Amino acid sequence: MIDELRAMAVFAKTAECGSFRMAAKELHLSPSVVSHHISQLERRLGVALLYRSTRRLSLTDHGTRLFAAARQMLAAAETGLNEIKQTQEEASGKLRLTLPSMLANHPVTRHIAAFANRYTRVSLDINYSDHPQDLIRDSIDLAIRIGPLKDSSLKSRKLFDMPRALVASTSFLQRQSKLKKPEDLTHWDWIGLSTRSGRKDLQHPKRGVLSIEIKPRISADSMEAVYQLCLAGLGLCTPPMFMVEKDIQEGQLAMVSPPWHPPSLGVYAVWPPNASYNQLAMRLVAFMIDQIESSQAG
């Protein structure tokens, strides 16, 4: 079918120009290639479309009818292409996004909101979930992901680093014996994120990285839930700093074993490998990076 459509486009241009040579020039093809496409089309249809001599050509009755249909086809295709081009230039259309649920209260959501306010003809379908979506299967235009990226076939751009904190509620810490060394934390109660492994890395500004094994007594599939369970005094957790800094200031949570702390996690924009840099997703990525850099500069 694709070959036939290509041949119809070549035939329509030839009939419009009135010669193989002129059509070839318009299409940036050789006259022999133009002739080949038309001959192939005639063989497939089993009819003559053009009568040609060394100097001129004319349409047969079948050719006249096919030319009319081909012009309608090309006009419809051109209209569709122009609409897509206009959509890209004017930033209009629909974007499907997915983000971890913890980012609902993060500045990245405000950056997305600012994008929506700037480009009012863009509609957004946003999925907030701690269960990673399959971008290809679920037709996702853009994902925001935290931590190491597993699927190397996807394209990505780092947006920023997200600091984390090792915290527990003050009521929980009052029930614990004095911590002698950070390795002892492996025996404390932990609240784990079920989508992460049972290993925790802690880093020290002078002593490097320490990796400890943990067996969470309680696990949850949402960082927001992990954070709330930590507030309730059920154990240690390592949430993003932005979630807990107010509770630390107010004394409900406390940093555990400073200056040891969990390493920051990279936050990435991720998109399918064949996305064009002119698409809305790329415009949103560029917009967020500009917003992030502006906020850091300020």
Cis peptide before 259 (omega within 30 of 0): yes
* pLDDT for position 1: 60
Tell me the per-residue pLDDT of 135-192, one tens digit each, with 9 for 90 and over. Answer: 988 999 999 999 988 867 889 999 999 999 999 999 999 999 889 899 999 999 999 9
List the CATH number of the domain containing 244.
3.40.190.10
Look at residue 74 and tell me if it is in a domain: yes
Q: Are residues 110 and 67 in the same domain?
A: no
Q: How many domains does the chain have?
A: 3
Question: What tokens appear for 257 in the block?
Answer: 């074993």
Lowest mean pLDDT among 52-56, 129-133, 211-215, 239-243: 52-56
**Number of Cβ within a 10 Å radius of residue 150:** 8
List the CATH number of the domain containing 67.
1.10.10.10
Q: Are residues 46 and 107 in the same domain?
A: no
More confident residue, 89 or 133: 133
- Could you give the CA distance from residue 259 to residue 161 in angstroms, rounded to a whole number? 19
**Number of Cβ within a 10 Å radius of residue 95:** 21
Please answer whether residues 69 and 115 qualify as being in contact, where contact means their C-beta atoms are separated by less than 8 angstroms: no
C-alpha 178 chain-centroid distance: 46
More confident residue, 140 or 21: 140
Q: Count the residues in the chain.
A: 298
Look at residue 54 and tell me if it is in a domain: yes
Task: Look up residue 138 and give its DSSP letter.
Answer: T
Of the residues 62, 89, 116, the one at which a domain ends: 89
What average pLDDT does this structure show over 33-56?
83
Q: Are residues 14 and 34 in the same domain?
A: yes
Q: Are residues 256 and 111 in the same domain?
A: no
Look at residue 158 and tell me if it is in a domain: no
Percent of the chain clearing pLDDT 90 (strictly above) = 51
pLDDT band at 279 (very low <50, low <70, confident <90, very high): confident
Q: Are residues 184 and 109 in the same domain?
A: no
Among 257, 198, 191, 197, CA closest to 224: 191
Look at residue 146 and tell me if it is in a domain: no
Of the residues 59, 89, 119, the one at which a domain ends: 89
User: In this model, does residue 86 exceed pLDDT 80?
Assistant: no
Query: What's the pTM?
Result: 0.69
Residues of the domain holding 71: 2-89
- Could you give the CA distance from residue 166 to residue 230 in angstroms, rounded to a whole number? 11
Residue with tokens 């527990």: 168
Angle, vertex CA 97, rays to CA 263 and CA 140, nearest 5: 105
Among 131, 245, 127, CA closest to 196: 131
Q: Are residues 185 and 225 in the same domain?
A: yes
Angle, vertex CA 24, rays to CA 22 and CA 28, nearest 5: 125
C-alpha 131 chain-centroid distance: 15
Whole-number mean pLDDT of the chain? 88
